[in-house]
């Protein structure tokens, strides 16, 4: 039995928080009500008629995004029940449990970043509590901690290419540092592209004395080999687990800024209580709902399959290029982490940085230099693109490495 106790883990002021309430909490808009409760503009949005006629709701081809611009003078649904149900339908696979996810298990926010920050505000007392991260990992955990004046404890991942969790070190750190309230783990990792072991996560959840919350960031989970790789259903069995996801990556909707956090109902209630009342806009909810509906899921899976094919092209062709070193991570994402070798055949940041800059400035191809991240010496992170983009990148990186090598021996 986990020692997790929400009453002593969460901040007292958050436990006592009375969430903002509006009349829509009691009386929803059924299309017949006269809504005079929220100081909205009853004459509608200040948009030309052409905008509403070209983008109004509909189901036919070219019918627009699926929301009525003439309704934008009304505040959005503060609870997002229907949107949350679509997330639950997607992640309820019964691969891990016979129980079923419900909207009570969900918090939805402005990207996963809102959930990252909300968890810090919910559980960590500024200047007192800490979070645990495992570099190399997503940088916003540290940024949000600093913004909230929360300390940072780092337990690095095991060396490449596995980039696995150092479970003994993590367990020992949690035992010795009770001020750690949150532990953030990224799976598939960024920038590693590696899935974390389920047994490793389970071992941390089974810590016998730590009273804190485990957060698994699954931003890239739909690029992993199997739908059962997601741990979203685990929140039905573990009261101190949060699994974050997003529609920015596999769904190709980064511009919408929508993320979801699956967790136990008590934690979800706290997160929903402290959020802004109307944090998800009407257009965002409408477009996301289309993406999460069966037709949208079919399109997403087709595009993920196409990206996986281009990922295979990169895996096959990059090792053939002189100056490309080892793959330093996994393939469970839409990016790959590769070493760049100097003219002596050794990975190094100096060469990798020059190749990165040359690609961007002279070849018009932008990748990401990750050499300063723990365990990523001399590495570039390459996002998988279209077939045309893949071909252009392969040609450009071969040229850039050759040019940099010539400069090194000159």
Question: In the numeric block, which tokens belong to residue 132?
Answer: 């645990």
Q: Domains, the chain, ranges and CATH?
A: 6-51+74-292 (3.40.640.10), 299-409 (3.90.1150.10)
pLDDT (0 to 100) of residue 43? 55
How would you write the pLDDT of the chain (410 residues) with one tens digit per residue?
A: 789 999 999 898 888 877 766 655 655 666 666 554 455 555 565 555 665 544 444 433 334 455 667 678 888 989 999 999 999 999 999 999 999 999 999 999 999 999 999 999 999 999 999 999 999 999 999 999 999 999 999 999 999 999 999 999 999 999 999 999 999 999 999 999 999 999 999 999 999 999 999 999 999 999 998 888 999 999 999 999 999 999 999 999 998 899 999 999 999 999 999 999 899 999 999 999 999 999 999 999 999 999 999 999 999 999 999 999 999 999 999 999 999 999 999 999 999 999 999 999 999 999 999 999 999 999 999 999 999 999 999 999 999 999 999 988 76
pLDDT (0 to 100) of residue 352? 96
CA atoms of 238 and 53, how far apart (whole Å): 48
CA atoms of 75 and 52, how far apart (whole Å): 18
HSE-CB of 253 using CA atoms within 13 angstroms: 26
pLDDT (0 to 100) of residue 32? 67
Side by side, which strands form the sheet with 335-340?
Answer: 324-327, 335-340, 379-383, 368-369
pLDDT (0 to 100) of residue 54? 44
Residue owning tokens 């990206």: 307
Helix, strand, coil percentages for the chain (3-state, nearest 5)? 40, 15, 45
pLDDT (0 to 100) of residue 136? 97
Backbone angles phi, psi at 323, to 5 degrees: 100, -5
CA atoms of 121 and 148, how far apart (whole Å): 7
Dihedral, 135, 137, 140, 146 alpha carbons, nearest 10: 0
- What does DSSP assign to residue 341? B
């Amino acid at each position: 039995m986990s020692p997790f106790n929400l009453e002593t883990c969460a901040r007292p002021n958050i436990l006592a928080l009375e969430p903002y309430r509006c009349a829509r909490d009691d009386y929803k808009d059924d299309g017949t009500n006269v809504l005079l409760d929220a100081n909205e503009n009853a004459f509608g949005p200040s948009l030309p008629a052409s905008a509403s006629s070209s983008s109004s709701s509909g189901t036919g081809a070219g019918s627009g995004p699926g929301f009525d611009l003439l309704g934008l003078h009304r505040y959005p649904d503060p609870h997002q029940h229907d949107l949350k149900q679509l997330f639950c339908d997607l992640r309820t696979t019964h691969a891990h449990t016979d129980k079923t996810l419900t909207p009570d298990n969900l918090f939805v926010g402005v990207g996963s970043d809102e959930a990252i920050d909300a968890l810090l505000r919910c559980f960590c007392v500024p200047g007192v509590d800490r979070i645990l991260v495992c570099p190399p990992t997503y940088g916003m955990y540290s940024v949000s901690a600093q913004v909230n004046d929360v300390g940072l404890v780092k337990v690095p991942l095991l060396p490449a290419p596995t980039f696995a969790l150092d479970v003994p070190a993590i367990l020992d750190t949690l035992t010795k540092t009770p001020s750690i309230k949150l532990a953030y783990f990224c799976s598939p990792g960024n920038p590693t592209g590696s899935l974390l072991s389920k047994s490793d996560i389970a071992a941390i959840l089974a810590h016998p004395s730590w009273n804190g919350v485990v957060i698994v960031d699954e931003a890239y989970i739909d690029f992993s080999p199997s739908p059962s790789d997601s741990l979203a259903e685990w929140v039905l069995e573990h009261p101190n687990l949060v699994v974050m996801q997003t529609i920015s990556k596999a769904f190709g909707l980064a511009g919408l800024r929508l993320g979801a956090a699956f967790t136990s109902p008590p934690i979800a209630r706290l997160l929903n209580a402290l959020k802004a009342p109307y944090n998800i806009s009407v257009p965002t909810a409408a477009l996301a709902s289309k993406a999460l509906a069966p037709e949208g899921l079919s399109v997403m899976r087709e595009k993920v399959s196409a990206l996986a094919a281009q990922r295979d092209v990169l895996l096959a062709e990059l090792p053939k290029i002189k100056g490309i070193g080892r793959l330093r991570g996994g393939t469970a994402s839409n990016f790959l982490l590769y070493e760049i070798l100097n003219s002596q055949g050794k990975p190094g940041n100096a060469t990798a940085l020059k190749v990165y800059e040359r690609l961007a400035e002279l070849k018009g191809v932008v990748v990401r230099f990750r050499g300063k991240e723990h365990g990523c010496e001399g590495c570039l992170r390459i996002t998988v693109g279209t077939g045309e983009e893949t071909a252009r990148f392969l040609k450009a990186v071969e040229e850039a490495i050759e040019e940099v090598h010539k400069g090194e021996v000159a």
